[in-house]
Structure 1
């Protein structure tokens, strides 16, 4: 049985620097100090390809050039290595940036709703839940078919959610998803139309 590399070894492999210290922060996160004075984070990720999917999402957010995103040094099947995000005190200036920069990220656009980040997989994750990056050009139909319906179905099958115990039943989503598969206009759509945003696909993994 193969013994997985230590977090220090993974950090050294992806940064090209020797590791000088290692400090576990949780079961999934380890802080690793490098010989050039930098500190990186090594994240253990569950699910096949989840680390690479998250790396692709972070790179897409970074490419938009509107929000500061940790530099991704590399990822393999189970671990992601990125720069550590330093903490700072709350301030009015930080609050303004917190609103302005994500707004710019949404305005950066994307090829389609649900489009995978460049180099990212179709089979990805949102948190620990599996998620498919399936492109569509109609937001309500796409969201119902590829986000609400899969997760609602999974919750019903696990008896976490009652099929008819909410304001909108699972059956409503099934009918809506069949009528609007994400590629047709939805006549019942409300509110102004907005195009796809980089954050919608990239943040999901």
Structure 2
């Protein structure tokens, strides 16, 4: 026999169980949907942000290139003063004596100033240096090497064309550098005239 407090199995009992299961599933669905909700937003930058970023990168790169150009020009102009001073002292003495042996050590000092100046300029020429400065700077260094070689070989007549080209290449580099930094006074970086040669004697009556 069943006690008076016990429930009899029947339709009403099964309906209660089904109702409880339905409520549980509904609550579980709500919780699941809450857990799987996504955060709004996107990983793609807006067009305006991309344009600003590119502009900033471009401006930064341009500033870096200009900085390297200024450094190359400053080093070139500073080195030129030393190079020209050594060369002018040598050539003035050579034009007076017309003899390398009588020039003494001024030829060696002129060569040393040319080599030292070139060694100071060369490291400033990099892959990112402005081409409008790097190209004439390399040309100037090439001519400097030729001038130093002519002095080392104690050339006189051959020294004139090399010296003239060196002067022109130097002037070209200074001209370009004028767009990046003030150019020093002309007298401080201008070589003197080329070596003079003794004229050949003429026959009497000519």
> TM-score normalised to the size of structure 2?
0.20
Bigger RCO (CA 8 Å, 6+ sep): 2
Flag the structure with higher helix content: 2
Flag the structure with higher strand content: 1
Larger Rg: 2
> TM-score normalised to the size of structure 1?
0.20
